[in-house]
Structure 1
Amino acid sequence: MSDVIEESIVQILDGKFLDDSDDLCDFTLSEQNEAIESRGIQPSASSSYVPICQKTVTYIVAAVLINEDNEILMIQESKSSCNGKWYLPAGRVEPNENLIDAVKREVLEETGLFMEAKTLIMVECASGSWFRFVMTGNVIGGKLKTIEQADDESLQASWIKNIEQLELRSSDILPLIQRCKDYKNNQADSWHLSLLPSVKSRSKLYLRLVTCIKKKSTNRMHVLVSEKTTLHLPICEINPSRNLHSTLHKFMVEIFGEDVAQHRPHGLLSVEFSDGDGGDGVCFTLLVSFRPPLEDVPIKGKYIWHELTQNNADLISSRLPKNMTIPLNVVR
């Protein structure tokens, strides 16, 4: 069974989805609610919650495209609430639509240009039921929308050098633009590999953990493995009414107890997204590392530490430095 874990690590680091099923969830929303109720607190989300696109869960895509002159592709809004203001090409994912198709559609509708998606540069969440997937790539065709072609999607599109000269719909896109500039300008240095969402049927919202730690006596790297059913990487259901920090903290406490040792979430290794076939769910794989050695981190639940092969240990070690994973940011 250790071969299964090693293969899982390889798949994740390659940005591929895992061929596992929803019944591998170690900490369901129902179990989270039971833990809350045992302390006399009313749960904030129903145990029967099901993500339904544009109804009970909101997925947003946004594109940050930069040309050879270091200009940003921007659109002028036509919506009455922000008419005339500028923003990145962005919009809601439609039912039965995957994320890559969604971002290409939004770019075409709002700018007149065809986009080839290359990688995620950031994922944001405002709660466990609102997510924004920010991608970059290349323009491969089309004709830039002019003011004469204004419609309900946008008034026009333009390549902009100095964003600060525009009246923006919101300044929340400034960190996205800066992140993309940094990525484009520093790819020769240590930055994450290209990573696009994989299509995988998911009926719920999930957070999977690749939790690594070193054993002091051997200096070998280990990853946390659940043995509640078949051996697999730990996975929990995301609470739709809480942010991901809250979900992660509760899951870590479930595994390691209230006095969980110092650890660090680094970022995403993979994103699996349903496109309506089998559900409207998503699964994020988050890399987490412990600072203390394995000997000082007791486990509370039905989990074990698995010693990695040296090759996979080296691969995970290469993802621990800054900028080597996709940022998962909680927006307040």
Structure 2
Amino acid sequence: MTWTPHATVAVVVEDDRGRFLMVEEHSNGQIVFNQPAGHVEENERIIDAARREALEETGWEVRPDHFLGLYTYTAPANGVTYYRFCFTATALSRARERLDEDIIAAHWLTLAELKARQQQLRSPLVLQCIEDYRNGRRFPLDIIVEAQTPPA
């Protein structure tokens, strides 16, 4: 068996009222809450993936501001290891209403509201990323270096 980790992105977006942009979605037959997040597509820059996933899952255009960290998680439901590149971002504008098919809705939730839903969070990384963000963890975006593919 070949071990194949999954590269994913997530964004922590806080509004001026202290609420976080969250996604309510279907996952493994359950309804869960998560940051806007998803897989990096082939030949996609990681920061571009963060922008795309936020737009597809919430309808919001965001501007990634900082790199929050690289988080790993092995999901007990399927044994898959996920590498989560997490960013802080600023919401710019609501750009579309239609969301990805697995998404129920996008919500702005306070930390207290998220903690009340702790059993419904997609993974422990949801709160970990918010706590790291609230503790002031930030790295410049240029900490991520993606080599340019030479022309064929």
Q: TM-score range by the shorter chain?
A: 0.7 to 0.9
Do the aligned partners of 1:60 and 1:132 also contact (CA within 8 Å) in 2?
Answer: yes
Partner of 2:7: 59
Counterpart Cα distance in 2 of 1:144 and 1:177: 25
**Contact (CA 8 Å) 1:74, 1:159: kept in 2 or not?**
yes
Letter in 2 for 1:123: L
Q: Which residue of 2 aligns with 1:201?
A: none
- In structure 1, what is the equivalent of residue 128 of structure 2? 175
Q: Deviations over 1:104-138 (max 9, x none)?
A: 000000000000011101112459x8521100110
Normalised to the residue count of structure 2, the TM-score between the two structures is 0.78
Q: Which residue of 2 aligns with 1:120?
A: 67
Equivalent in the alignment of 1:196: 141
Matched residues in 2 for 1:94 and 1:65: separation? Answer: 22
Q: Which residue of 1 is the match for residue 107 of structure 2? A: 158
5+ residue gaps in structure 2?
Answer: 75-80
The list of structure 1 runs, each at least 4 consecutive aligned residues, that deviate by more than 4 angstroms after superposition, is: none
The equivalent residue for 2:33 is: 86
- Structure 1 residue 173: deviation in Å? 1.4
Q: Deviations over 1:200-228 (max 9, x none)?
A: xxxxxxxxxxxxxxxxxxxxxxxxxxxxx
Aligned CA RMSD, in angstroms, stands at: 2.7
Q: How do 1:1-332 and structure 2 match up within 5 A?
A: 56-79=4-27, 81-125=28-72, 130-142=82-94, 149=98, 151-161=100-110, 162-166=113-117, 167-183=120-136, 194-197=139-142, 270-274=143-147, 277=149
Q: Which has the larger radius of gyration?
A: 1
Contact 1:57 1:130 in 2 (8 A): yes
Residue ranges of structure 1 left out of the alignment (5+ in a row) = 1-44, 46-54, 184-190, 198-269, 279-332
Assess if the C-alpha contact under 8 Å between 1:123 and 1:131 holds in 2: yes
> Against the structure 1 CA distance between its residues 196 and 85, is the aligned structure 2 distance closer, same or farther, given a 3 Å change threshold?
same
- Greater fraction strand: 2
Alignment identity in percent?
26
TM value normalised by structure 1: 0.38
**Structure 1's 120 and 150: CA in aligned 2 closer, same or farther, altered over 3 A?**
closer
The structural deviation recorded for 1:175 is: 1.0
